[in-house]
Chain A
Amino acid sequence: MDIQIRQLDDTTWEIPKTGGMRVPGRVYASRKMMERIRADKSLEQVANVAHLPGIVKYSLAMPDIHWGYGFPIGGVCATDAEDGVISPGGVGYDINCGVRLLATNLKADDVQPRIRHLVKELFDNVPTGVGASKAIPKLSRKDLEKVAVQGARWAAEHGFGSTAQLDFIEEHGCIADADPSAVDERPWQRGADQLGTLGSGNHFLEIGRIDEVFHPDAARVFGLEPDGIVILIHCGSRGFGYQICDDYLKVTQQATKKYNISIPDRQLACAPITSGEGQAYLGAMRCAANYAFANRQVIMHLTEQAVMKALDISDHEAGIRPIYDICHNIAKFETHDVDGARRRVCMHRKGATRAFGPGSEHIPEAYRSIGQPVLIPGDMGRYSYLTVGTDRAMHETFGSSCHGAGRHMSRKKALAASKGRDMIQELRDRGVEIQATGKRTIAEEMPHAYKDVSDVVNVMHDAGIALKVAKFRPIGVIKG
């Protein structure tokens, strides 16, 4: 399919509405990035998403866009809450995969001399791969259901952090109206012993050093200073969420036929939001989202324990606290201004982040003068960013921004490119201490397999969607 695209300005492109598209497509990218984006099927996927019934305004893509399943990664779409559809493919297998950014009282000089020891301590305490939780013995079904309904609150009330931290999580760490009865048997089995685990692939736990501050006022509000230490945790809903998505892809494949929904790609399988199938998926998806919030809450606690032990300091001295925790694979109801009227929509963000602007009641009061923190992890060898949402994002992208660097090299090519190279030493030479049990993962996740996150973040900044606050350089990473 040859996709026509025209440039609107330096950072914005439009796919005109043609054929079965109900709305145009809109892509945020630089000219240089667009050359690469055109090379895979992502633009076709943006155009395909525009076919979904009830889609509002346009099918959006952020500058970290790449080819996904049905929806592109970096895809955003809003469907009307009454007349629109919900699609599990618009959320992804790893429901509420997201990032939590932690501030600390530590400076780089405190940590650097002991970084190898700290990384080892983290690695020993936070299970990776398909490893079982060390923090929480296998949960009973009853307790798992509580996690699914209460989210991060469950973890905070069971000794992992405190309830005061919940304000600094998107949706306060719990999406309402989760429905455990909508979750089949298998997800519970897969998720029973995975709370407090990182997983593998592109999941990680990173110790970062604040390298540059772009927005001093915002940095001050968030408690960040140059050379300060931050910690990023990137993971999601583990086997619980993957299985829920898998189960509901089958349900929505049937629903697509049942409700005579015409879609150009079977991976856009969907159901009307108001249908039984749609409501069931929403109920189950929220369970997975809440599991992920709880997971990051537990891992934050394990991280704090590891830092205190490795550096032989108290919790007060470590001063570990969440700056914010965001989802980047989610579907939820929000109200946005569309053509001058307030409209309730179901926001699908798949590899995209909410980026609400200043004044929003949905962000912590302490941040309302500045805007919502948007955490953008890069690859493990270069840098990550903290940005903030803007009014312009609210008007143009339903308050959405990019989520990360995005891959541009396949895992196979990355493995081939790393043959004969000592990737661990190469990272050490860049000042990054890494510990991972899987050599394959390190090779697959090598920095040059990813786009440069600076390019992605700069597009969002230049477009006025999410403004740069600070840049972090990794000094220690654990991966599965």
Chain B
Amino acid sequence: MEGRFDNFRPRLDEYCRGIKIGAVMWENKGQNIFRSDRRAISFGGGSVCIFRDEGHAEENSRLMTAGSFEEFDHTADAGIRARGDTLAEMLIAAAHGMLQLMFSGVPESPARPEAPAESGDATRHSTAAVHEHSVAAEADDAEQLLHAWLSELLFRLTVDRSVPVGFDVEECTPQRIRVRMASVPMDERMAGAATEIKAVTWHGLRAEHTLDGWIGEVIFDT
């Protein structure tokens, strides 16, 4: 697999072998949230990594900035509050929040078999599952962009039946975002166990640049 995420292939492969609910690549300032030996994902409000094309993983980890998200209360549905130093970080954090809502209830399943050793590249079997694609969204302002971006992601996820595992933001302004993504197929078990998000609502929608960076709030109809 040649592509934007080649530099992260070893880590991607490690995750892919253990994928149960999609491997979301997180690094929380050096502390892995995804632990491949547990073969499980734990989604939680945490830092989000934005990958760059150049350099290798250790150096890129120093480029990480602290986007984060948390869930907030809403009687019938689910709300996410996302933060980031930049608009891009906030939007990616919001995306991770949406993924958490969808997939955090998926239980672990038995480990997948290892790739055959004689393949010459033990990772080939698993990385074949990862495909790269671009997602873009446009809007009149940052608030509408938050809605458009998450709606686009939701649409792609449900129609393509794939789970994003990596995000590389190529362009981000309050009117447009373009992201190169790595995604893995959503298998039947994962699909069946996912919490369906019907829509990104306009209710309480917020995207604001404050003294502490960007903050976004969105409520999903579940």
Contacts and interface: CB of A to CB of B under 8 A. Distances in A.
B194 A130 contact: yes
A376 B155 CA distance: 32
Contact of B203 (A69, A131, A200, A242): A69
A78 interface: no
Contacts of A407: 75-76
A267 B186 CA distance: 33
B77 interface: yes
Interface string B43-87: 000000000000000000000000000011111111000000000
B73 A412 contact: yes
B76 A129 contact: no
B42 interface: no
B198 A411 contact: no
A129 B71 contact: no
Contacts of A246: 151, 199-200
Interface string A241-266: 01101100100000000000000001
Given A129-B192, A132-B161, A132-B191, A408 B75 contact: yes
A70 B201 CA distance: 11
Contacts of B75: 40, 66-67, 407-410
A28 interface: no
Nearest to B222: A201
Interface stretch (A276-284, A388-396, A432-440): A432-440
Contacts of A127: 191-192
Given A242-B198, A245-B199, A266-B202, A131 B192 contact: yes
B221 A239 contact: no
A114 interface: no
A413 B73 contact: yes
A411 B159 contact: no
A66 B191 contact: no
Contacts of A128: 192-193
B106 interface: yes
Nearest to A253: B202
Contacts of B155: 186, 189-190, 243
A93 B221 contact: yes
Contact of A201 (B104, B195, B200): B195
Nearest to A200: B196
B196 to A, nearest CB: 4
B52 to A, nearest CB: 31
A387 B71 CA distance: 38
Contacts of B159: 189-190
B134 interface: no
Contacts of B193: 128-129, 437-438, 480
A328 to B, nearest CB: 14
Contact of A129 (B74, B107, B194, B201): B194
A67 B158 CA distance: 27
B124 to A, nearest CB: 28
B105 A439 contact: yes
Given A130-B191, A190-B155, A249-B202, A437 B76 contact: no
A242 B194 contact: no
Nearest to A40: B75
Contacts of B188: 131-132
B187 to A, nearest CB: 10
Interface in B139-194: 151, 155, 158-159, 161, 186, 188-189, 191-194
A412 B71 contact: yes
Interface size class of A (residues with CB under 8 A): 35 or more
Given A73-B76, A245-B199, A480-B196, A437 B221 contact: no
Contact of A267 (B105, B192, B195, B203): B203
A357 interface: no
Contact of B73 (A68, A410, A441): A410
A94 B198 contact: yes
A90 interface: no
Nearest to A66: B75
A441 B102 CA distance: 10
B64 to A, nearest CB: 27
Nearest to A73: B76
Contacts of A190: 155, 158-159
A262 B125 CA distance: 58
A81 to B, nearest CB: 27
A411 B191 contact: no
Contact of B192 (A249, A408, A480): A480
B152 to A, nearest CB: 10
A242 B197 CA distance: 9
Contacts of A371: none
A474 interface: no
Contacts of A63: none
Nearest to B78: A411
Nearest to B188: A131
A129 B195 contact: yes
A24 interface: no
B186 to A, nearest CB: 8
B113 to A, nearest CB: 22
A199 interface: yes
Most chain A beta-carbon contacts within 10 A, residue among B76, B106, B161, B188: B76
Contacts of B76: 66-68, 73, 407, 410-411
Nearest to B191: A131
B107 A437 contact: yes
Contacts of A409: 75
Contacts of B195: 129, 200-201, 438, 440-441, 480
Interface in B106-140: 106-107
A239 B73 contact: no
A200 B199 contact: no
Interface of B: 71-78, 102, 104-107, 151, 155, 158-159, 161, 186, 188-189, 191-196, 198-203, 221-222
25 contacts: A69-B201, A69-B202, A93-B201, A94-B198, A94-B221, A127-B191, A129-B193, A129-B194, A130-B161, A131-B188, A132-B191, A190-B155, A190-B159, A201-B196, A242-B199, A267-B202, A408-B75, A412-B71, A412-B78, A437-B106, A438-B106, A438-B195, A439-B107, A440-B104, A480-B196
The 5 nearest A-B residue pairs measured at CB: A440-B105, A437-B193, A438-B105, A242-B198, A131-B192
